[in-house]
Structure 1
Amino acid sequence: MKLFIPLLLALAMRTTHAAPACEAPPPAPIDIEANSYYADANHSVIDPEKRARNIASTKPIESFLSHVARDANGRDAACALTWLASWGERKAMLGKLSSEQAYYVRKWTLSGMALNYARVKPQATPAQRAAIEGWFKALADATIAHADAKKGARNNHYYWEGLAVTAAGGVTGETRYLDWGRKVLHDALGQMAPDGALPAEMERGVKALHYQVFAATPLVMMASILDIRDPRLETLVAFTVAAAADPSGIARRSGLKQEPADSREVTTLYNRHAGKPSPPAGQALWQARLGGALDVPNPLEHLQ
């Protein structure tokens, strides 16, 4: 892509010291053990003990993604590819999933791996591409199967599934994954209230604002990857950013004081896609699930 050379330079400039030696990839988990950690029906009150147990059980996967993201964002591209190919060859995360939370972990990880792989794909060997992209396709197929089998409300989890599959489609060139992601995005915009609120997220009690932001984030990234420009996206982003700045509207809507939420990821991704200047972030934004450094455009993004 035409942005590849400048992106590599930008990423390289972020690393001011020599990269450490590439460690051997960790063992590939075939199964995923994870548990829900909320104590109420609205999934708004966290049980600390359950949360700690979930963090401990998913740490190997979270650490893997974090390491790959750092390497893909300028530290050591070859190491990122080695790690991804190692887990790809072993078909990691395609075994037994213990709970819905395990499915959440898998989709967030696929999203991050595909978006980080996009940064280093041009440096992959043919064997690495085959191992990584074949694995991503298997993960995307499993994600679609799980999503399509679920009935009822579509919420932030569906949107993150959409981003995971869309990103996999972007790096593998499989149009069926891009088409499925486009369906998810249009479903989300069709569910949205006229003012930009996402109804399922408004039902999350004190975390309604948090989940509005969390749900909007994959939607704006999907819109950029798919090069979709829809006035409803502007409404979604405007509502989300305004609510993060002043939660009183959602507090009145929900009847509950809202936990604070940071909408800078939404603003950065959407404004770049829409050709709008973003306000200074104050500090560099980093999210491994979204490809690492958000101030450096991802090769999959379609920019104005």
Structure 2
Amino acid sequence: MVKRLTCVLLALASGVAYACEAPPPARSDIDANSYYSDKHHSVIDPVLRAKNIANTKPIEDFLSQVARDANGQDAACALTWLSSWAEQKAMLGKMSSEQAYYVRKWTLGGMALSYARVQQQATPVQRLLIEGWFKALADATIAHSDAKQGGRNNHYYWEGLAVTAVGGVTADKRYLDWGRKVLQHALGQMDDDGSLPAEMERAGKALHYQVFAATPLVLMASILDVHDARLDKLVAFTVAGSADPSGIARRTGVEQEPVGSREVTVFYNRHEGKPPVAGKPMWQPRLGGALEVPNPLEHLK
């Protein structure tokens, strides 16, 4: 990957066009497994984790490459790869487990957010293929989510982001409305102090999952252009907990793993017109690549 990126940079510097690599074969089915070993889903089993990483690597690699190309202004390559998997109806086959559904929604959200960066360069045929595939994946995500019984936690919020991003790039109100429903449900679950109860049940990973849950919610709010006092409380609690985890440690009775909150504030601050929080550049393919570069779907104040 490093060698390929170096070649791209050299080609751009010299003015030579870079030849896009052929897209990998599409993955219809997703084989993934859970890797936590305790009832709180807070202790990772390294063997199960390694198995999950190996099985999902082709999909993670695909998403990462699309994000790199979309952020590096190699729109043609990003669109070629997305069109290829769209034509083959990738990720619409058998899901081996709940973890497989998680992988699919994270990938869909990341692809839609990366696509937003290059959508204007897509041909009519590419738009038809890619956006039709995204809608099929969004429909599958909604169907699985609506059929799922029990409590709603961070996974529901990431489903909401994926479907909202698809609504953003397709201008389909049905998907935007579904995302808005998820956002309102999440804010309705929140405690008065801004904590998310389901995430506070994650023992030593309570802070980690508070941040992980808040991230799709603030980006959804930006895409949907929602301003809400409850969201302000959510962000304030998350940022404060990240800066000083002792309060969450007392609440859960377990020392917390330190985790930063800039993935939350980078979107929230842009949407609310607040100054950015300084720090190293952040990169997350599931969120469309370079987080410091505003996504075309965001509503900036």
Tell me which interval the TM-score lies in, with the shorter structure as reference length: over 0.9
Aligned match of 1:125: 123
Post-superposition Cα deviations, 1:95-135, rounded to whole Å, max 9, x if no partner, equal 00000000000000000000000000000001100110000
CA distance in structure 1 between the aligned counterparts of 2:50 and 2:214, rounded to whole angstroms: 27
Task: Provide the aligned length of Structure 1 versus Structure 2.
Answer: 289
Displacement of 1:21 = 2.2
1:161 corresponds, among 159, 162, 173, to 159
- One-letter code of the match for 2:262? R
CA distance in structure 1 between the aligned counterparts of 2:10 and 2:193, rounded to whole angstroms: 47
1:49 corresponds, among 28, 37, 47, to 47
CA distance in structure 2 between the aligned counterparts of 1:17 and 1:179, rounded to whole angstroms: 44
Post-superposition Cα deviations, 1:217-266, rounded to whole Å, max 9, x if no partner, equal 00000000000000111100000000001000000000000011110110
Aligned match of 1:183: 181
Return structure 1 stretches of 4+ with deviation > 6 angstroms. none
Give the 5 Å matches for 1:41-80.
41-80=39-78
Displacement of 1:75 = 4.6
CA distance in structure 1 between the aligned counterparts of 2:138 and 2:204, rounded to whole angstroms: 32
CA distance in structure 1 between the aligned counterparts of 2:295 and 2:112, rounded to whole angstroms: 11
What SS does the aligned partner of 1:18 have? helix
Aligned match of 2:281: 284
Aligned match of 2:202: 204
TM-score scaled by length of structure 1: 0.94
Displacement of 1:208 = 0.3
CA distance in structure 2 between the aligned counterparts of 1:17 and 1:236, rounded to whole angstroms: 44
- One-letter code of the match for 2:109? S
CA distance in structure 2 between the aligned counterparts of 1:211 and 1:256, rounded to whole angstroms: 14
Task: Name the CA shift for 1:17/1:266 in 2 (closer, same or farther; >3 Å).
Answer: farther
Aligned match of 1:148: 146
1:25 corresponds, among 16, 23, 26, to 23
CA distance in structure 2 between the aligned counterparts of 1:155 and 1:81, rounded to whole angstroms: 33
Name stretches of at least 5 consecutive residues in structure 2 with no aligned partner: 1-7, 13-17
Displacement of 1:280 = 1.1
Matched, 1:245 2:243: yes
Aligned match of 1:9: none
Displacement of 1:279 = 2.1
RMSD over aligned Cα atoms = 0.9
